[in-house]
Structure 1
Amino acid sequence: MLKRIVDILIAGLAIICLSPIFIWVAFKVRKNLGSPVFFYQERPGQDAKIFKMIKFRSMLDAVDKYGNPLPDDQRITPFGHKLRSTSLDEMPQLINVLKGDMSIVGPRPQMKDFLEHYTPHQMRRHEVKPGMTGLAQVSGRNNLSWEEKFELDVHYVENRSILGDFKIMFKTIKVMLNKEGINAPDQEVGAERFVGSINKKAK
């Protein structure tokens, strides 16, 4: 209950304080990429329940002659890269926090198809709400393998506390200001997807 109260207070205050930036980014997305300005993607949350995560669009809706979306690296623009490098595309997730789909701090929500590849231990990352930032994001990020990131997620689940959350929040600010790990495996266009620890070792 205390964590939920903290989430609502921080998300609400952040939306109010950052509203000028929010509006400016929405305008730039509309100008550079067109409508809609938001991108909705289904991600598994607490207890693997599916929710729609909200982000600012960073890619074009370009398709091939058959109507299939082009690869991500062909759809992202220089503007989209800049948006991701500053993490401004993540701002709308504050709405997810207010709705109760996400928390400020928690394991980052990954793709739905990852669910079938998790080990029972890795699946424990879904015992809590996913977060806008997490322990893995302030502990090396782009230098970590999927397995290392998920291990940190489970460590967070087993040792979570309000004080720990605030420490992660402050570390996140430092990471963003220094642009550390902006090409994280869960952010980089064209990055290798998680196909399971066992399958990966079998290659």
Structure 2
Amino acid sequence: MKYTLLLLTLVFVIPGIAKAQSSAEWTAPMHQVNFKADSGEEAKMEIDRGYRYADLDFEGRTFHLFFNHDDNQIKKARIVEPKTNLQIARGRGSYFWGSARFEFVDGEVYKVKKKRDANGYEIIGPNGTLFKVENHAISPVKPLNEKDFLTQAFFVFERIKVTQSNPSDVMIYYSSYYPIGPNE
């Protein structure tokens, strides 16, 4: 009798557990920012509620924007294609020394300069203004090509990350241990 009851329990419970584990799909809630061009094209950026990373969907491609070790310095900026784990662009230098730049995978270097004023700042790239904050709000700037747009999107993510704080239901724990790898 014991074995029959155990067998019946296993027969009814195992398929339920297997179905529950195979059909569960986990997604994190994200903040959404939409970019819209004059021609009607749209790009969508989804930002993590902890403001640690952003996923940008642009012309059928996905890009992952983040700061390495979550450190808000341009030299820690990264743009990665998540499907291939290819690093599209990497930040280098600093604004203080005037050496701030984004180095793209094809070898092109985008030097950026931060010009500050009383109520905002302007990021100037090789083709002109890339990003502008006026009266503490983001002003629209039209990018000329894909690299301008990716750089601009990174500065939008950075501005949102700097001006917002984590909600009380999101807790982020950091370790003081930073492993030193071959790419650091």
> TM-score when scaled to structure 1?
0.23
Q: Which has the higher strand share?
A: 2
Q: Which has the higher helix share?
A: 1
> TM-score when scaled to structure 2?
0.24
Higher Rg: 2
Which of structures 1 and 2 has the larger relative contact order (alpha carbons within 8 angstroms, sep 6+)? 1
